[in-house]
Amino acid sequence: MPTDFALQASNILRDPSLYKWYVIPLFAFVVYVYAVEIERRNWSLVFAGLAFWGMDWFNEIWNSLVFHFTNHAPVWGAPGETAYLILIGLNIEICFMFAVAGVAFSKMLPKDKKMKILGINNRLFLAFTFTLFCVFLEILLNWIDALTWEYSWWSASAPWLIILFGYLPFFLVSFWVFDMETVKKKIITVGSIFAFDFLLILIFGFILKWI
């Protein structure tokens, strides 16, 4: 039996009547962020940002599948006000945020990828630090029911899985792509992430209609 929050999200899932005009300037902001980095030929930032975004799409897909198979609740839901709910845990506002987050966080990486912070490789240190920051923000969003959690093992009192699966892989993959030596490797890696996401959406979304 679906929870109240799950039903609330399901009832507005991909409802075009929710559209708000602020979506357009948000989209323009995302385009601007990438246009600036492309103009500067900062390919490491461009592909790090896309890798971060692609990793989030994968998480949102399996989260939607959890709701399909349990018929109880997704691991996280986004039942609140939105201009468009793309997947049960992903609204258009969150989507645009993740589209630029990888660029923003990667801008803070030291040029020397071998430099250590408190004796820890700076990539690992910052990946964990940024992850903890994002999880803290999610706890605040959950507190006001903007982002809902229904399972005890994915909650503010047990944040370990949120850390390990919710955000840490985003940063590790994004920084890994950032440090790749050639643009070709970045293109192949990011292209593979999005191709896999697209395949999952095609199968579970358009064909099976499970998400």
Which residue do the tokens 């799409």 mark? 57
Distance, in Å, from the CA atom of 61 to the CA atom of 76, rounded to the nearest integer, reads 11
Looking at residue 98, what is its pLDDT? Answer: 98
- Parse the chain into domains and list their residue ranges: 4-207
pTM of the model: 0.96
Q: How far apart are CA 27 and CA 97, in angstroms?
A: 10
Check if the beta carbon of residue 210 is closer than 8 Å to that of residue 204.
yes
Angstrom distance (rounded) from CA 200 to CA 192: 12
Q: Is 19 helix (H, G, I), strand (E, B) or coil?
A: coil
Sole residue written with tokens 């950032």: 178
**Residue 103 pLDDT:** 98
CA distance 107 to 104: 5
Per-residue pLDDT, 64: 98
- Stated length of the chain: 211
Task: Quote the pLDDT of residue 32.
Answer: 98
DSSP code for 158? B
Instruction: Give me the sign of the Cα torsion angle 206, 63, 132, 135.
Output: positive
The pLDDT profile of the chain, 211 residues, written as one tens digit per residue, is 999 999 999 999 999 999 999 999 999 999 999 999 999 999 999 999 999 999 999 999 999 999 999 999 999 999 999 999 999 999 999 999 999 999 999 999 999 999 999 999 999 999 999 999 999 999 999 999 999 999 999 999 999 999 999 999 999 999 999 999 999 999 999 999 999 999 999 999 999 999 9
